[in-house]
Amino acid sequence: STGSQLPMVLIGNKADLPPSASRVSSGEAEQFASRHGMQYFEASAMANQGVTEAFSTLMATVIGQIPNPPEPSLLVKTRIQIGRKLADNRAFRAALFDIPSVPQ
């Protein structure tokens, strides 16, 4: 999905099992995902198949929706937390708040 909507993907789990064990066919899942503006992935955590691709795609979509650099007003009075190393990084703070970088 795009815009201000929360990006979502649909993941069909247990792709390592035979199709006869599934309650929903791949085709039905793909149609559902398409109707709701989602990408569909089949994954198996046990076989380490498709999991990385699904989450990488989701994260790329999320990151693609973040303004570069983020507007400070988007972070004010939110519950967004960043790691201490990143918060203490002067170059990061300068880029985030669009102020001249101060040498470290």
Q: For 7-32, what is each residue's pLDDT tens digit?
A: 899 999 999 998 888 889 999 999 99
Residue range 70-83: mean pLDDT, rounded: 65
The pLDDT-based confidence of 50 (bands split at 50, 70, 90) is very high
Q: How many domains are there within the chain?
A: 2
The pLDDT-based confidence of 83 (bands split at 50, 70, 90) is low
More confident residue, 75 or 101: 75
87 found inside a domain: yes
The confidence score (pLDDT) of residue 96 equals 60
Q: Are residues 42 and 78 in the same domain?
A: no
The confidence score (pLDDT) of residue 38 equals 93
Would you say residue 39 has pLDDT above 90?
A: yes
47 found inside a domain: yes
Q: Return the CATH number at 9.
A: 3.40.50.300
Sign of CA dihedral 72, 74, 80, 82: negative
Identify which of 80, 61, 60 has the alpha carbon closest to the alpha carbon of residue 70. Answer: 80
Question: What share of the chain has pLDDT > 90, as a percent?
Answer: 34
Q: Are residues 41 and 92 in the same domain?
A: no
The confidence score (pLDDT) of residue 90 equals 72
104 found inside a domain: no
Q: Which domain holds residue 15?
A: 1-65
Q: Are residues 61 and 79 in the same domain?
A: no
Report the alpha-carbon distance of residue 13 to residue 42 in Å, rounded. 6
